[in-house]
Amino acid sequence: MRFLILTIALAACGHPPVKPVPENKKMTTSSDPQPAPVVVARSATEWSIEVKRVLGTQSASARILVTIAPAAASPAPHSAVASAVAWLSLTRMALTGGAPSDAVDAARRGIADLGDTYRPKGVKDDTGLHLLDANSMIASGKTAEGAEELASILDARIGLYFRRYKDEVRRLEGE
């Protein structure tokens, strides 16, 4: 009922209709199931974790090396950063492929997966301000520019994460 009232109110105010996403730039929904992380023991003290993320017809994987043993409570430690790296790859693919809406979706998923535990203690982090700028750009129709800014934010936060947990996790060579 509230949705109907809101729709009528927007129509009465002359709000322009929402443009549909072109079929060749189809976006996925935020509830798309994603593959589970794959954990492989490399030694008695190191485990590789591979995370694959899928957006539409595109996919990207990221691998990390951890020194924290998997446990029932945390079967894939630090997999959030691997997920964020995979989403960043998908963000860049979408930007290169001319699908800025998909790039926004991928970057936002990466930021959400990484969460708020990326910043080392004592480090100033202004990515929150940049996030506001990016969302403002996107809202004003500058989707590609906003997606580029989101990619930059995600990349910076991933770097901060690896810095904060440098004794527990690192990228595998070539990642």
94 contacts: CB under 8 Å, gap ≥ 6:
55, 58, 100, 102, 103, 105, 106, 147
Contact 64, 170 (CB under 8 A): yes
Do the beta carbons of residue 118 and residue 88 sit within 8 Å? no
Dump pLDDT digits (tens) for 26-53. Answer: 444 445 789 999 999 999 999 999 999 9
Torsion of CA 63, 127, 166, 112, to 10 degrees: -40
Whether the CA torsion 71, 76, 120, 30 is positive or negative: it is negative
pLDDT at site 143: 97
Regions of the chain short of the pLDDT cut 70? 1-31, 173-175
In this prediction, residue 31 carries a pLDDT of 58
pLDDT in tens, 67-87: 999 999 899 999 999 999 999
